Amino acid sequence: MDLSVIVVNWNTKKLLETCLESIYRYADNERSFANAQDDGKWEQDDEGVKGINFEVIVVDNGSSDGSQAMVKKKFPQVKLILNKANLGFTKANNQGIKIAKGDYVLLLNSDAYLIENSFRKLLDRARSIGENFGALGPLLLNEDQSIQQSAGFFPNLPQVFFWMSFIDDLPGGQLLKPYHVDHDNFYKKEQEVDWVTAAAILVSQKVVKEVGALDEKIFMYGEEVEWCYRIKKAGYKIYFSPVTQIVHIGRGSSQKIPTGAFIGEYKAILYFYGKYKGKFFLQIALILLKIGALIRIIIFSLLGRKELSKSYVEAFKVA
């Protein structure tokens, strides 16, 4: 088995269906040609579709929107793990990783979908890197085809300061190795980074067996940073590469104002510091996060963005 694709779902039936349809359209040779013969509508892309030996594992976190029945009916070849409740992103992915048979594991969000044969391109690039390959993230696009930030550097104190003070958003901010790289030019060529988003991250089974899977103490948000930290600590390298593009809608199962994301990220930073940096640096990070939240509360209040301001009030409480 070349690849195991793990998709965690929680009440994103329509998005999940689009995700799975794109997988079997672009990555499964037999299914693609079968569909073409059935309806005559599907055409092979210019580069051709080379089949790879892969499996898809969907882990459903107790959805109530008909997701489970949809997968069983439309995608019977999918391995479906059914949880009775929402166990969280990390635990669900780890359930998939545990039964994965592929040489490589790709975590793919249910609100992402392929627009080309990304699996083949990711595998080819990973294999070409060699023994020091740790993880690889593709170029993620928003639905309007704009570049989506998807990589960054570890949240050391300077990076947290740059982030909280908006300094890394200034022109040339990518040179500061920011926690979140939010500069489009950065994503136009391959980069060695500290982490890539778990919305689409390829990791070899060799690395997973050596460093372990995701940290289940993190329910959601920031789990990829902690995972990549262990991967790099073990001597492997993390890469972002525009070798292929995947569309990621973002917040498919979250609210429009991502209060949970803000709070989750703050919690993840504090957990990271508590686990790896010690109490002294944890306290400094805590202060920086509080200052950053306060600045955002003031700015968004002045701009009339009351909902965003309220979100950072909640983040301030966490910090």
* Residue position matching structure tokens 């104190």: 157
Task: Over range 136-148, report the average pLDDT.
Answer: 95
Q: For residues 60 and 83, is the Cβ–Cβ distance under 8 A?
A: yes
Task: Over range 140-152, report the average pLDDT.
Answer: 95
3-state DSSP call for residue 218?
A: coil
- Per-residue pLDDT of 224-273, as tens digits, reads 999 999 999 999 999 999 999 999 997 544 445 678 888 999 999 999 99
155/224 Cα distance (integer angstroms): 12
Q: For residues 307 and 257, is the Cβ–Cβ distance under 8 A?
A: yes
* Residue position matching structure tokens 């022109």: 171
Q: For residues 202 and 105, is the Cβ–Cβ distance under 8 A?
A: yes
Q: How far is CA 10 from CA 83, 87, 90, 250, 261, in A?
A: 10, 10, 13, 14, 16
Beta-bridge partners for 141 = 147, 247
* pLDDT at residue 39 greater than cutoff 80: no
* pLDDT at residue 98 greater than cutoff 50: yes
Question: In the chain, pLDDT over 90 holds for what percent of residues?
Answer: 86
What average pLDDT is seen over the chain?
90
Q: What is the pLDDT of residue 251?
A: 56
Q: What is the pLDDT of residue 237?
A: 98
Q: For residues 201 and 136, is the Cβ–Cβ distance under 8 A?
A: yes
Listed range (2-6, 30-34, 198-202) with the worst mean pLDDT: 30-34
Which residue ranges form the domains of the chain, and what is each CATH number? 3-248 (3.90.550.10), 259-318 (no CATH)
Q: How far is CA 157 from CA 177, 255, 259, 287, in A?
A: 12, 30, 24, 11
Packing angle between helix 67-74 and helix 13-26, nearest 10 degrees? 20
Q: For residues 249 and 292, is the Cβ–Cβ distance under 8 A?
A: no
The pTM of this model reads: 0.89
Q: What is the pLDDT of residue 27?
A: 83
Task: Over range 147-163, report the average pLDDT.
Answer: 97
For 293-316, give the DSSP string: HHHHHHHHHHTT-HHHHHHHHHHH
3-state DSSP call for residue 127?
A: helix
Q: Which residues contact 261 (CB under 8 A, 6 or more apart)?
A: 221, 251, 254
* pLDDT at residue 49 greater than cutoff 60: no
Q: What is the CA radius of gyration of the chain?
A: 20
DSSP state of 270: H
- Per-residue pLDDT of 289-309, as tens digits, reads 999 999 999 999 999 999 889
For 51-115, give the DSSP string: ---EEEEEEEES--SSHHHHHHHH-TTSEEEEESS---HHHHHHHHHHH--SSEEEEE-TTEEES
4/100 Cα distance (integer angstroms): 6
Q: How many CB atoms lie within 10 A of CB 235?
A: 11
Q: What is the pLDDT of residue 30?
A: 40
Q: What is the pLDDT of residue 220?
A: 86
- Per-residue pLDDT of 62-90, as tens digits, reads 999 999 999 999 999 999 999 999 999 99
* pLDDT at residue 34 greater than cutoff 50: no
